[in-house]
Amino acid sequence: MRAVITVVGKDKPGIIAAVSTMLAERSVNILDISQTIMQSFFTMITLVDLSAMDIDLEALRTELDQVAERVGVTITLQHEDVFTAMNRV
Amino acid sequence: MIFTPLEIEQTLKMFTEQNLDVRTITMGINLLDCADGDIDRALRRIYDKITRSASRLVDVGDRIQAELGVPIINKRVSITPIAMVAGASGGEELLRYAEMLERAAQDVGVDFLGGFSALVQHGLTPTDERVIRAIPAALADTEKVCASLNLATSRAGINMDAVQLAARAIKEAAERSADRSGFAASRMVVFANAPEDNPFMAGAFHGPSNPDTVVHVGVSGPGVVYSTVRRRPEASLDEIAEMIKKTAFRITRIGQLVVDMAAERLGVSRGIVDLSLAPTPKIGDSVARILEEMGLEAAGAPGSTAALALLNNAVKKGGLMASSRVGGLSGSFIPVSEDEGMAAAAERGSLTIEKLEAMTAICSVGLDMIAVPGSTSADTLAGVIADEMAIGVMNHKTTGVRIIPVPGGNAGEWVEFGGLLGRAPIMPLNTTSCTGFVNRGGQIPPPVTAFRN
């Protein structure tokens, strides 16, 4: 399964490092990554492949929540199909 | 990146800020094969079939929610109208059926079970009549069971004998739950042209033309449409219609995704996607506020029917493009207690029952979740129902009535129904007598457009 992970928050050093380190530890492969500032917020969008992940989805969400709290950002994970369904005819 | 940051942001915001959700995955279960001359055996078969068919429904729904990151609020079951099943055992002891349905619903963990129902547009069988008379006690004694009646169709006309019985049942259901402001009546709806594949409550039932087991999905999203309209204050009305259409398309695609996944995982037939703007009492999840954002001071103001027509039509068009199986009610609901904007408009006197009635001519359902004074007679309720049925029958659309005569309640007082049902002021009702009319009974014939063969 592929998913889109979105990280939104106040810009500061180390956000990408914190998220990508955590993903690497869980064998989540980053396929694509982009970073912009939208409405003065740091926004990082990552397309990831979860097929080799060594924990289940629920646990991944929990760990992402922990990173979010530690770094002070909001992290959302949604299935790639959600974006395809809503944005592609 | 295969998606642009703007697409990602817009999609994400619909869920995080604009209350977009899949309101329900509803499993329709055929119970015709559970009918039995022996009531104990019939009840056991019903329980077994529901619990067997829906055993994984809640779990599958939760898993899809986790996987997609899309909130799925309710899981529900709809069944064959119980009047069709209970007749075999003589149609007696209907409360035992209601209790068994409640037990099955509790055991599979669904939020509601719909189908304590009868389809009586042409006339009443003895079992139909017993079902209607049993509804008040059935609703008062259960928490999850919902009742519905189809009283009229554009082919059959309006069964006025059934309208009278239904009005009395609503009144009695409210009285039996007087300690909860007539709450039981909120789980009962009467229809003209009831859809057989509706996933929304209280009117969901599994129509006899459906496959054995099927899943339908109901998607909601007034908040998303509201934000769409809000973004462009300078837009003309045709531009607003276009924007709403595109938004409805995107929302419905989520429903399509979920219904595909649910049907495959549960191994049952794929049903319909019902895109209905179903408001909740939450701020930012209101249909009334969409109409106001188009430029009305409050819902109910002149122009409200036109604004709702635009909205309802655009929602349908977007939905139809997004799913090849659009069904149910698909359009816009205009309940009062479930919509914080509608309730506020009712309190300030801008929204009256008469205006709501006009709006039901072009919305997707009808008079919905309206609290009226407890002193309202069954005859007056029957008159209100007959009017609403007439709008549906003559316009070839679904209309419904879900009205709560709040025991001891007076116009202007607020009542709380709690949860998704919300709160509302009791609305004054025209009490000029219609007794002579409704007590004539009989059938109001269908329109000439019914004779198409």
Name the residue ranges covered by the structural domains of chain A: 2-87
Task: Please indicate if any CB of chain B lies within 8 Å of the CB of A4.
Answer: yes
Asked if B3 and A6 touch (Cβ cutoff 8 Å), the reply is no
How many Cβ atoms from other residues are within 10 Å of residue B151's Cβ?
Answer: 32
Residue A39: per-residue pLDDT: 75
CB A43 to CB B70 under 8 A? no
How many Cβ atoms from other residues are within 10 Å of residue B391's Cβ?
Answer: 18
CA B348 from centroid of its chain's CA atoms: 26
Residue B184 CB-half CA count within 13 A: 21
Q: Domain residue spans in chain B?
A: 23-192, 218-450
Which tens digit of pLDDT belongs to each residue from A10-53? 988 899 999 999 999 999 999 999 988 877 788 899 999 999 99
Residue A31's H or E segment, with its range, is strand A29-38
Q: Of B5, B70, B251, which is closest to A45 when you measure between CB atoms?
A: B5
State the CATH class of domain B23-192.
alpha beta
Residue B19: per-residue pLDDT: 87
How many Cβ atoms from other residues are within 10 Å of residue B107's Cβ?
Answer: 13
CA distance B370 to B425: 9
Asked if B399 and B360 touch (Cβ cutoff 8 Å), the reply is yes
CA distance B43 to B28: 18
Q: Of B1, B66, B256, which is closest to A32 when you measure between CB atoms?
A: B1
Tell me which residues of chain B have a pLDDT lower than 50. none
**DSSP assignment of B358-386, as one string?**
HHHTTSSS-EEEEEEETT--HHHHHHHHH
Residue B416's H or E segment, with its range, is strand B414-416
Asked if A2 and A14 touch (Cβ cutoff 8 Å), the reply is no
Residue B339, classed as helix, strand or coil, is coil
CA distance B16 to A89: 23
Chain A residues within 8 A of B7 when measuring between CB atoms: 83, 87
Residue B277, classed as helix, strand or coil, is strand
Which B residues in the span 236-255 are in contact with A, Cβ-Cβ below 8 Å? 250-251, 253-254
Residue B1: per-residue pLDDT: 66
Helix axes A80-87, B237-266, angle to 10 degrees: 140
CA B314 from centroid of its chain's CA atoms: 20
State the CATH class of domain A2-87.
alpha beta
CB A86 to CB B11 under 8 A? yes
CB A85 to CB B253 under 8 A? yes
CB A79 to CB B68 under 8 A? yes
Residue B69 neighbours by CB under 8 Å, 6+ apart: A3, A76, A77, A78, A79, A82, B15
CA distance B81 to B30: 9
Token pair for residue B107? 């055991």
Give the distance from residue B72's alpha carbon to the nearest chain A alpha carbon, in angstroms. 14
Chain A residues within 8 A of B1 when measuring between CB atoms: 32-34, 45, 47
Which tens digit of pLDDT belongs to each residue from A58-77? 899 999 999 999 999 999 99
Q: Of B3, B5, B66, which is closest to A43 when you measure between CB atoms?
A: B5
- Indicate the CATH number of B218-450 among 3.20.70.20, 3.30.470.10, 3.30.460.80, 1.25.40.80: 3.20.70.20
CB B15 to CB A45 under 8 A? no
Nearest CA in chain A to B1: A32
Using the structure block, give the residue that is written with the tokens 């003895």: B126
Give the distance from residue B363's alpha carbon to the nearest chain A alpha carbon, in angstroms. 25
Chain B residues within 8 A of A83 when measuring between CB atoms: 3, 7-8, 11
